Chain A
Amino acid sequence: MTGTMTEAAGAARGPAAGAVTREMSMQQAINAALRTVLEQDPDTLVFGEDVGALGGVFRVTDGLQRDFGAERVFDTPLAESAIVGMAVGLAMNGWRPIPELQFDGFAYPAVDQIVNQLARMHYRSRGAAPMPVTLRLPSFGGIQAPEHHGESLEALFAHVPGLKVCAPSDPQDAYRLLVQSVRCDDPVVYMEPKARYWERRPVDTAAGAGDMPVGRSRVLRPGRHATLVAWGAMVHRCLQAAEYAAEDGVELEVVDLRWLKPIDAEGLAASVSRTRRAVVVHEAPLTAGLGAEVGSLVTERAFGALAAPVERVAGFDVPYPAGPLEPQYLPTIDRILSAVQRTLEYERP
């Protein structure tokens, strides 16, 4: 998983004027990151359904049109294919577009533009037309929203050559990953965990993109008995599971993958080499989900260290259910702990 990583193009640029650490929700942190790039890079454009006058259905783009003008922050027709197609054309003409698709499930109408144009224009043009596009995609479930508002498309996009994919799990990383995505010269699908939008944490807007390169994971909680691997909203659930496990004397390490393409195979291997067991947790359906990729990478790189097969705790192979059934669909603490227990008591045949 190396060789194609493009480092942040403008990492040397400084923080936004007046940057301070203050408590923010993830919505506010993403808003702050958009302000940072809009201030520092005159080529950036923010557009999508209701991102302008309304400020976004989740208030993420609140005030941006007022402060940066309707030429740089603007509403589009309700046509996702046109939104991404517009981003491709703007990127070909030197802009750095940051389009929003309002919800995960509404990315499907844009898949033709994403796969056939956005992802391969750089390749097709033999390097003449880079696509520095950051596609913001409010993603995953957990807010009991209607159909098309709770889907996990990371495996779909990670499978497409030419795209990078990331998903933050907390406000600080939402800020950092968005700035980094915008400054990356490759197209990045930036998946926002809706269920964590309201979480408030201190955010340092002077941190910029930080010193973590594209594709780097992070260990959020060290432990020695097993590694939980997650991204987006499931990171929080894994941290809760680790708290419970600690009550029983089981120390779980929690790895926030952050980048879903490229995946930090070395970081995963380093963690699992210490803990000897791994459980991947994701909201997406099990079959051909990204957990399979994680399991394979871990097995390739840490086979000798593994004391048990890599376990997967995932959504079920059904369409994402209606709101009241969400708690039954999403990985629960008990399902995560049961998988951990299976790795703890596994005996080689």
Chain B
Amino acid sequence: MTETTERTFTLPDLGEGLVEATVLEWLAAPGDAIERNAPLVELETTKSAVEIPSPHGGTVARLHAAEGEVVQVGAPLVTFVVEVPAGEGGAGAQSGIVGRVPTEEEPPRRRVRLRPPEE
């Protein structure tokens, strides 16, 4: 039970209170399928150049800034078409902008085996 919806990713604050960033290079184009956390765009701030991972898995619908353009923090950067559970939306449906979303429920491996105590 899924439906598709649009999610617009706005430019996050990439550092300590920076207000804008310049788009250096798009690493995905409209129509591209993209995985969550895959490289999306390279941005340059007054501090450094940073590669931004995609906050969503889905299809890139629109880019809101051309290469070389300056984008204000909070302004739309890119819009995705994503699949979400039917009837879902709003808070929390978008991922965070600091750090990585942990990979889905892949149980960690084990090597240690246990021996039950003697009863």
Interface, chain A (partner B; CB < 8 A): 23-28, 31, 50, 53-55, 57-60, 62-63, 78, 103, 142-146, 149, 194-195, 197-198, 225, 237, 240, 243-245, 248-250, 323, 332-334, 337-338, 340-341, 344-345
B39-47, B61-69, B92-100: which one contacts chain A? B92-100
Which residue of A is nearest B88, CB measured?
A: A23
Interface, chain B (partner A; CB < 8 A): 12-13, 16-17, 74, 85, 90-102, 107-117
- The reply to whether A340 and B114 contact each other, CB–CB distance below 8 Å, is yes
Q: How many Å lie between the Cα of A103 and that of B94 in the bound state?
A: 19
Q: Which residues of A contact B107 (CB under 8 A)?
A: 240, 243
In the assembled complex, the CB of B88 is this many whole angstroms from the nearest CB of chain A, namely 8
A63-B90, A338-B112 given; A54·B74 CB < 8 A: yes
- The reply to whether A78 and B98 contact each other, CB–CB distance below 8 Å, is no
Q: How many Å lie between the Cα of A160 and that of B113 in the bound state?
A: 40
- The reply to whether A149 and B99 contact each other, CB–CB distance below 8 Å, is yes
- The reply to whether A58 and B108 contact each other, CB–CB distance below 8 Å, is no
Q: Which residues of B contact A332 (CB under 8 A)?
A: 108
11 A-B pairs in the complex with CB atoms less than 8 angstroms apart: A59-B96, A60-B91, A62-B91, A146-B99, A198-B92, A243-B107, A245-B114, A249-B116, A340-B114, A341-B114, A344-B114
- The reply to whether A240 and B116 contact each other, CB–CB distance below 8 Å, is no
In the assembled complex, the CB of B13 is this many whole angstroms from the nearest CB of chain A, namely 7
Q: How many Å lie between the Cα of A62 and that of B108 in the bound state?
A: 32
Q: Which residues of B contact A142 (CB under 8 A)?
A: 102
Q: Which residues of B contact A55 (CB under 8 A)?
A: 91
- The reply to whether B112 and A53 contact each other, CB–CB distance below 8 Å, is no
- The reply to whether A225 and B110 contact each other, CB–CB distance below 8 Å, is no
Q: How many Å lie between the Cα of A26 and that of B94 in the bound state?
A: 12
Q: How many Å lie between the Cα of A50 and that of B99 in the bound state?
A: 17
Task: Determine which of B74, B92, B110 lies in contact with A59 in the assembled complex, contact meaning CB atoms within 8 Å.
Answer: B92
Q: How many Å lie between the Cα of A173 and that of B49 in the bound state?
A: 40
Chain B facing A: main interface SS = loop
- The reply to whether A59 and B91 contact each other, CB–CB distance below 8 Å, is yes
Q: Which residues of A contact B92 (CB under 8 A)?
A: 24-28, 31, 59-60, 62, 197-198
Q: How many Å lie between the Cα of A146 and that of B100 in the bound state?
A: 10
Additional A-B contact list (6), CB under 8 Å, known A57-B98, A249-B116: A23-B85, A57-B13, A143-B98, A143-B100, A198-B101, A248-B113
- The reply to whether A28 and B99 contact each other, CB–CB distance below 8 Å, is no
In the assembled complex, the CB of B37 is this many whole angstroms from the nearest CB of chain A, namely 10
Q: How many Å lie between the Cα of A238 and that of B91 in the bound state?
A: 28
A143-B102, A250-B114, A345-B115 given; A63·B91 CB < 8 A: yes
- The reply to whether B110 and A337 contact each other, CB–CB distance below 8 Å, is yes
Q: How many Å lie between the Cα of A333 and that of B112 in the bound state?
A: 8
Q: Which residues of A contact B13 (CB under 8 A)?
A: 50, 57
Q: Which residues of B contact A78 (CB under 8 A)?
A: 16-17
- The reply to whether B116 and A225 contact each other, CB–CB distance below 8 Å, is yes
Q: Which residues of B contact A237 (CB under 8 A)?
A: 108
Which residue of B is nearest A307, CB measured?
A: B117
Which residue of B is nearest A28, CB measured?
A: B92
- The reply to whether A62 and B90 contact each other, CB–CB distance below 8 Å, is yes
Task: Determine which of B90, B96, B102, B108 lies in contact with A240 in the assembled complex, contact meaning CB atoms within 8 Å.
Answer: B108
A24-B92, A60-B91 given; A341·B99 CB < 8 A: no
Q: How many Å lie between the Cα of A340 and that of B108 in the bound state?
A: 17
Which residue of B is nearest A142, CB measured?
A: B102
Q: How many Å lie between the Cα of A78 and that of B92 in the bound state?
A: 23
Q: Which residues of B contact A146 (CB under 8 A)?
A: 98-99
- The reply to whether B95 and A344 contact each other, CB–CB distance below 8 Å, is no
Q: Which residues of B contact A225 (CB under 8 A)?
A: 116-117
Which residue of B is nearest A143, CB measured?
A: B99
Q: Which residues of A contact B16 (CB under 8 A)?
A: 78
